[in-house]
């Protein structure tokens, strides 16, 4: 499902027009990005999804073409965890 299809499905389920559904989806994406960027707290939708920023330590890896070791600097990543309702939907 792409964004257009998601906006259409949201507009039908919530009985709103597509413009409003798209605005809500855009606002959610902005808020999720801000929360994860700050890293001080998790974004939790109980039973559905949890998003959190995680720290990745610096590490040594290998260049697959040459086999030479390369140093990868420390950085941040995002961790997404499915909630119980989402897991049950997959079963």
Q: Cα separation of 60 and 49, whole Å? A: 32
Number of domains in the chain: 2
88 & 50 share domain? yes
User: Is 40's pLDDT higher than 90?
Assistant: no
Give residue 39's pLDDT band: very low, low, confident or very high (50, 70, 90).
confident
pLDDT digit string (tens) for 51-61?
999 999 999 99
pTM for the complete prediction? 0.74
Co-location of 47 and 17 in the same domain: no
Q: Is the pLDDT of residue 45 over 90?
A: yes
- Region 65-72 average pLDDT: 96
Beta bridge partners of 78: 53
CATH number of the domain to which 50 belongs: 4.10.520.10
Mean pLDDT within 62-82:
95
**Domain match, 26 and 68 both:** no
Same domain for 31 and 49: no
> Do 30 and 47 belong together in one domain?
no
Helix, strand, coil % (nearest 5) of the chain?
45, 30, 25
Task: Give the domain range for residue 31.
Answer: 1-38
Section 4-25 average pLDDT: 96
């Amino acid at each position: 499902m792409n964004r257009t299809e998601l906006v259409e499905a949201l507009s039908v389920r919530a009985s709103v027009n597509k413009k409003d559904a798209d605005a809500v989806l855009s606002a959610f994406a902005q808020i999720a990005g801000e929360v994860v960027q700050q890293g001080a707290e998790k974004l939790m939708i109980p039973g559905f999804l949890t998003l959190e920023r995680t720290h990745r330590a610096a590490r040594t890896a290998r260049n697959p073409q040459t086999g030479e070791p390369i140093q990868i600097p420390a950085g941040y990543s995002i961790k997404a965890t499915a909630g119980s309702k989402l897991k049950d939907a997959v079963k």
